[in-house]
Amino acid sequence: MKISLELLAPAGNADIGIAAIDHGADAVYIGAPRFSARANAGVDTGEIARLIKHAHLYYAKVYVALNTILTDKEIPEAFDVIQEIYDLGADGLIIQDTGLLEMKLPPIPLIASTQMHNDTPEKVRFLEDVGFTRVILARELSLKEITAIRRRTRIELECFVHGALCVSYSGQCYMGHAVTGRSGNRGVCAQPCRSRYTLTDGDGNSILSDRFLLSLKDLNLMNDIPDLVAAGVTSLKIEGRYKEIDYVKNVTAAYSRALDDFISSHPAYRRSSSGKTYLTFLPDPERTFNRGFTRFFVSGRSENIVSMDTPKSVGKPVGSVTNVGKNFLRTDCTEIKNGDGLCFFTKKRKLSGFRVERIENSKIFPNTMKDLAVGVLLYRNHDNELSRLLNKASSRRQIYVEMEFHHDTDIVRLAARDEDGNEVVLTHDMPYEEPRDLSMAREQIEKHLSSTGNTPFRVINVGISRRIGFLPISFLNSIKRNVLVELTRIRLEKYPRKTSEHIPNSILYPERRLDFRANVLNEHARRFYERHGAEVMESAFEILPEITGREIMQTKYCLRNELDACLKCGRSRRQLKEPLRISDGHHAYLLKFDCEACRMSMIFLGKNEK
């Protein structure tokens, strides 16, 4: 049996989710009406139901995220939401709060959110043993670490392959709550990692001033698909429930093509959903929102991963300024179009930009000439041509169907079989009338039965019996339409939905004593960990009485490494006197370095003194 691989795309709403399916996604994930880790991306149940119906037609899955930590008061309400999600037909529930496992949940497959910090074989094995069917791996894992998890578990492994990166280990970031009261674990991340900071050394000297020291580039593992699959990953996830529909269309289509290319040369694998997508554009992730790309730690610590000059989208490099006139410029790029948005970095490393108002021969007339100079490298962060293409119907996804047509005496029989083996047979009384031209009659039958119009089907073969009579075109179209309507009904009826019963047990948790980083916000979660042999020493960070002096972030990203001042590698060219601190002008943080584990921590020092 072939191994199924899944391309998983984000759905900020039902329309975006439907577009993702149409552009090649095998599954989508969408926020629950409440308690999603992207609180503003929650979707009402009617929209979720509409998305599920569209996805299931292609045997694609819909996972619903209810992945925040919950208060005791919210647990019953969350249970009601979960029951409703299950009744709608969702294929999986993404959760973070272990307190939900103390409830008698419906038999919906449980997916461990990356907010649960799934980074070791022991943690993943535990989640498998207590009833999860899939884990979303920590983004920081290398191929070697993923392989180690695979060897000790059998649970489905999902990993992020594209999109925005959290600088902190997911679920272990408390920075937003510390400075704004908005907690990422409660679905309202304030994104302080995208702010400006100044780095000072132990003598108070400024090393870097007013830079985006914690803002990472975007992940792009398109070229790593073969290695990720070999390591044991079967679900490849695109980040972006806050992203617009153009982004989702473009990136989903690009990864779908890459996955198809891999499968075409690896016959042991198949796509987990049905249908083939036909595009009207050439997808390219560089042409939509991106902060520059990184492979993060998939192959170890080998590259710069931070974008210190801006947290905004820079897009795709397109060329350099070769000449500057009074109100125009010239470049060495021939691909720039009217309406494009171009950006560049000034001499002070500030991001600036302009809109292309018009192009005359080799002259480009921008809406502003500020800071433009010869030699400036230009990036296109708004591709007007691609945007126009994506605003139209930019794809069509169709399920392959074969038909058999017979006309025996006064009975017409039309059978249809789709690529998943679903079959429909319809018969209709039709008096036999000898055709004037047998060859033309056969051609007409094949032509009209093959024309599927605006349906999700593509007829790839029509078998026609040797003996056929004359048939009106209206009749052929009617029986074909009826067959496809019935095939649609049968596909939805036979959709292979999986369920999973949750049976409580007492498997030991890998840790014995848990502090605030276990994110225990309710008594149900406390009971869960105690039943599994762990003592909860502290409640969640969000309700700690005092947070000054606490670790508010732990990250595999290391500022020392980025500045070529690593204490471990032995080849650093820069000396930095500790203790190192960063400040945003309002709050200060102490940096600590665990060189043995290659980790950096941030300690909250409180508000800056005026």
Which helix (H) or strand (E) is 5 found in, with range? strand 3-11
Do 155 and 133 contact (CB within 8 A), yes or no? yes
**What's the average model confidence in pLDDT over 54-68?**
97
DSSP state of 327: S
Please answer whether residues 23 and 279 qualify as being in contact, where contact means their C-beta atoms are separated by less than 8 angstroms: yes
Token pair for 585 = 């002008």
The β-bridge relationship of strands 110-112 and 92-95 is: parallel
What type of residue is 105? L
**Is residue 402 over pLDDT 90?**
yes
Report all structural domains of the chain as residue ranges with CATH numbers, in order of start: 3-165+217-287 (3.20.20.70), 293-382 (2.40.10), 400-493 (no CATH)
pLDDT of residue 260: 98
pLDDT tens-digit readout, 74-133: 999 999 999 999 999 999 999 999 999 999 999 999 999 999 999 999 999 999 999 999
If you average pLDDT over every residue of the chain, what do you get?
A: 95
Average pLDDT over residues 549-561: 95
Q: Are the beta carbons of 25 and 258 closer than 8 angstroms?
A: no
pLDDT (tens digit, 9 = 90+) per residue, 261-314? 999 999 999 999 999 999 999 999 999 999 999 999 999 987 789 999 999 999
Contact 7, 23 (CB under 8 A): no
Higher-pLDDT residue of 334 and 449 is 449
Residue 610 pLDDT > 60: no
The pLDDT tens digits for 492-521 are 999 999 999 999 999 999 999 999 999 999
Is residue 166 classed exposed, middle or buried when 0-12, 13-18 and 19+ CB atoms within 10 A define those classes?
buried
What's residue 609's pLDDT?
60
Predicted TM-score (pTM) of the model is 0.96
Query: To which H or E segment does residue 427 belong?
Result: strand 423-429
Predicted confidence at residue 408, as pLDDT, reads: 79
Q: Could you tell me the pLDDT band of residue 237, with boundaries at 50, 70 and 90?
A: very high
Taking residues 551-558, what's their average pLDDT?
96
DSSP character at residue 518: G
Express as a percent the part of the chain with pLDDT over 70. 99
Q: What whole-number distance in Å separates Cα of residue 272 and Cα of residue 239?
A: 19
Averaged pLDDT for residues 227-235 = 98
Give the Cα separation of 256 and 58 in Å (integer): 15
- The total of other beta-carbon atoms located within 10 Å of residue 207's CB is 18
Q: Are 90 and 62 in contact (CB under 8 A)?
A: yes
Is the distance from CB of 22 to CB of 274 less than 8 angstroms?
no
* Percentage of the chain exceeding pLDDT 90: 90
In eight-state DSSP terms, residue 110 is: E
C-alpha dist (Å) from residue 445 to 164, 451, 482: 52, 10, 15
Model pLDDT, residue 511: 97
